[in-house]
Amino acid sequence: MLCRSFFLLFLTAGTLARGHFGRQSTHPKLGRHRHHTLNRLPSQDTEDVDDPGHGDSGTWTNTTSMIGASKDDTSASNTSTSSGASGPYKLDVRYTGQDFFNEWDFFTAADPTHGKVNYLSKEDAKSKKLAYTNNGATFLAVDDKTTLQPGQNRDSVRITSKKTWSSGLFIADFAQVPYGCSVWPAYWSVGPAWPTGGEIDVFEGVNNQATNQYTLHTSKGCTSSQGSIKPTGKVSNKQCATINGDNTGCGFIDPNESSYGAGFNAADGGVFAHLWDKSGIKIWHFARNEIPQDIQAISDYGAATTGSPNPDSWGTPVAFWSPDTCDMGSHFHDHSLVFDTTLCGDWAGATYSSSGCPGTCEQAVADPSNFKNAKWKINYVSVYQPVGLDYNSSY
């Protein structure tokens, strides 16, 4: 593994490469949300997406109802319930289990970051076992069976939440995340008319990167500052906006190897939580054995939650952007959540030769054995709002 000092330098260089490699004045993820509209599928589609042969008791929950505690539990889907939250935050929506995919759209256009992937429709992803649920967890995978010719694209999945938010507390529990040579996974959120609505990258990295990177992208007028909070992450850049074609964004590098890739999976996964409101944007990462009690109490992904998370008890965040130098309400609004795994492209491809991976990025894509670890295993994603807040507005 690369030594830490060199690794941090590599990450910074890699981020810069994202903003410049093969581009003129656009961010490599720009087309994810600017040039292409989502391929929306019928929201009434409730077809079972379970992995054949496995049972499931997952749920999708919102503040007024619980949709399908199981396919056989009709009382759960027909009974109105409150969120059950006590304290400062109440549950808005919870994604988990067999109904997970009903509340997300599958993106099927060409990858705007120039990755060597074919993003599949819901039907194709299900039939090829690249999107399924098993024992309450949701899986999103890259094809790891087909041998390709160098230059061909490999099948993968990208999904976007139907629901949008302009603030909130977001808690995501992953048991496994994708990583490997040529692999570029991301869990992020994005607003309309990029970069006007902003972008928050909660989990992102490339190739065999050792730790996670957290980044914001905005329109002009937003820079990174920490105020009185000193995050545990290392600042990688302070300019959040695109300036003269530089789309690096403002970010932090996590010092903990349990935050990404092989290290994350070896720790049995963990939780990423981010709080976005008028006081700024904070992100926490907790390895499985470090998850706070209040989050652990709501981590039973087979049932609706009854607890309320308390970010004030979580300690210092790994990343924090203060509103002192970035107005949160004007730079971040109407965000959808996104999961994707692309291959090569504007970042993973640009930094491949310095990543320690063998051969070329296109050669790596051709070999299915490189993608045995290119899989998301999502226990749940929950979104909370402060009690009493009209969360259809910015704050």
Residue 99 structure tokens: 């109904």
Structure tokens belonging to residue 240:
């959040």
* Residue among 385, 368, 346, 378 at smallest CA distance from 17: 346
b/e per residue 286-310 (b: at least 16 CB within 10 A): bbbeebbebbeebbebbbbbebbbe
Please state, in angstroms and rounded to a whole number, the distance separating the CA atoms of residues 62 and 58.
14
DSSP state for residue 65 in the 8-state scheme: B
CB 276 within 8 A of CB 167: yes
- Give CA separation, 291 vs 116, 286, 299, 387, in Å: 35, 5, 10, 23
How distant, in Å, are the alpha carbons of 152, 275, 308, 362 from that of 89? Answer: 47, 11, 6, 46
User: Which residue, 378, 368, 371, 380, is CA-closest to 140?
Assistant: 378
Grouping H, G, I as helix, E, B as strand and the rest as coil, residue 257 is helix
Torsion (CA) 313, 94, 299, 68 in degrees, nearest 10? 160
- Asked if residue 66 lies in contact with residue 79, where contact means CB atoms within 8 angstroms, the answer is yes
Say how far apart CA 165 and CA 183 lie, in whole Å: 28
Other CB atoms closer than 10 Å to residue 267's CB: what's the count?
Answer: 17
For residues 57 and 303, give the distance between their C-alpha atoms in angstroms, rounded to a whole number: 8
Catalytic residue among 47, 103, 123, 199: 199
How far apart are the C-alpha atoms of 139 and 293, rounded to whole Å? 26
47 assigned to active site: no
Catalytic residue among 204, 257, 290, 362: 204
Report in angstroms the alpha-carbon separations of 347 from 18, 33, 168, 266: 5, 17, 29, 25
Does 123 participate in catalysis according to the annotation?
no
Interatomic CA distance for residues 52 and 128, integer angstroms: 12
Residues 115 and 280: their CA atoms lie apart, in Å, by 32
**Active site members:** 199, 204
